[in-house]
């Protein structure tokens, strides 16, 4: 049989063979949607059912084009700011959270708004408020420009929170051991990187106050743990997720730090078959905003080129469910 592969980067590649060669695919579990993402999507869908189209959504509800396009087809309209939303239609705030000024503006305009902020992100927002009430300056570990970081830093007044992205950034902080400081983190960070940064912060500021539990969410931690289990056994790891998805980027980084090459893809058609040359075992996972349909699509795409033998590797079992806003349940 002659098979012709269309490579996105390299053009046509002709391979002559009598049969497809085997490819072992280790599928990470858990993977894909977390409870916060499921809740956010359900909020938009229920709002469309209850109020009818259009329902406006401030920013992407989650970082996944497939999800956004599906909701758009149902009548959701995605905008960047509230001034693009008419006063008489519902608006949903994304799962990443928003600065305090956004709901304040919505209330001033007497808008019907639904807050789809992940409850674990909202928990960090409340922690920030409590630390400010205790007159502490907050050191926030996160990635500049991420919607979650913008939303969390927007819970306090300018100058009350300092952002740290790396261990090196800690040296640039102009505080003393005697200063009243608190520590918070973004929920979708690398578990290992964050532990390193926190260790340095605590060495430099022994009295810094931190949350009782880790701010990094259960889903981020579990997905990284699953990748750590499969990556050492793989020649390549594919991570389904968007390039602006923090938790998806971290999954690829976890694999590469274990010495396994990784590619971030949005869906099956993004795979370059050249990547599979010399690959006998492939790892597959999906970021918290990627639906299971895309995992199936990737498997189907791989099956066009290789004889796929699937095996699921489970690192944790998730059964968390978050409540919906009262406006949608009353």
Phi, psi of 224 (to 5 degrees): -70, -40
- The closest alpha carbon to 235, from 23, 32, 8, belongs to 23
Out of 9, 148, 157, 280, which one is annotated catalytic? 148
Q: Can you give the pTM of this predicted structure?
A: 0.91
Q: Could you list the pLDDT tens digit for every one of the 330 residues in the chain?
A: 333 333 344 344 334 445 899 999 999 999 999 999 999 999 999 999 999 999 999 999 999 999 999 999 999 999 999 999 999 999 999 999 999 999 999 999 999 999 999 999 999 999 999 999 999 999 999 999 999 999 999 999 999 999 999 999 999 999 999 999 999 999 999 999 999 999 999 999 999 999 876 688 999 999 999 999 999 999 999 999 999 999 999 999 999 999 999 999 999 999 999 999 999 999 999 999 999 999 999 999 999 999 999 999 999 999 999 999 999 998
- The closest alpha carbon to 80, from 52, 58, 55, belongs to 58
Q: Over the stretch 303-319, which tens digit does the pLDDT of each residue have? A: 999 999 999 999 999 99
Count of positions (residues) in the chain: 330
Strand partners for 5? 13
Average pLDDT, the chain: 93
CB burial of residue 65 (10 Å; 0-12, 13-18, 19+)? middle
Instruction: Report the pLDDT value the prediction gives residue 211, as an integer from 0 to 100.
Output: 82
Contacts of 76 (CB under 8 A, 6+ apart): 44, 48, 53, 54, 55, 56, 57, 61, 92
In order of their start, the domains of the chain are 2-33+218-314 (3.40.1010.20), 35-115 (3.40.50.11270), 119-216 (3.40.1010.20)
Instruction: Report the pLDDT value the prediction gives residue 330, as an integer from 0 to 100.
Output: 82
148 given a catalytic annotation: yes
């Amino acid at each position: 049989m002659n098979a012709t592969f269309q490579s996105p980067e390299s053009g046509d590649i002709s391979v002559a063979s009598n049969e497809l060669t085997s490819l072992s695919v280790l599928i990470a579990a858990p993977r894909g949607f977390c409870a916060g993402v499921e809740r956010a999507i359900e909020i938009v869908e229920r709002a469309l059912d209850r109020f009818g189209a259009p329902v406006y959504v401030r920013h992407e509800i989650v970082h996944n084009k497939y999800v956004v396009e599906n909701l758009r087809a149902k009548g959701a309209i995605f905008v960047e700011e509230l001034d693009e939303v008419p006063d008489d239609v519902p608006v949903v705030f994304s799962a990443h959270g928003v600065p305090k000024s956004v709901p304040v503006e919505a209330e001033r305009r007497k808008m019907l708004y639904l807050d789809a902020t992940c409850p674990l992100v909202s928990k960090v927002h409340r922690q920030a408020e409590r630390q400010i009430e205790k007159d502490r300056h907050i050191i926030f570990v996160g990635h500049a420009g991420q919607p979650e970081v913008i939303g969390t830093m927007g819970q306090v007044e300018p100058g009350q929170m300092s952002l740290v992205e790396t261990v090196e950034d800690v040296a640039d902080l102009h505080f003393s051991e005697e200063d009243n400081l608190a520590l918070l983190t973004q929920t979708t960070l690398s578990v290992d990187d964050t532990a390193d940064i926190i260790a340095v912060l605590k060495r430099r500021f022994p009295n810094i106050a931190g949350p009782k539990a880790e701010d990094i969410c259960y889903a981020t931690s579990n997905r990284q743990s699953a990748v750590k289990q499969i990556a050492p056994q793989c020649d390549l790891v594919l991570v389904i997720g968007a390039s602006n998805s923090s938790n998806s980027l971290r999954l690829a980084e976890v694999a590469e730090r274990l010495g396994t090459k990784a590619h971030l893809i949005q869906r099956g058609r993004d795979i370059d078959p050249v990547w599979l040359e010399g690959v006998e075992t492939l790892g597959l996972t999906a970021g918290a905003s990627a639906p299971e349909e895309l995992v199936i699509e990737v498997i189907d795409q791989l099956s066009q080129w290789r004889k796929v033998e699937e095996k699921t590797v489970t690192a944790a079992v998730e059964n968390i469910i978050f409540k919906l806003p009262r406006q949608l349940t009353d």
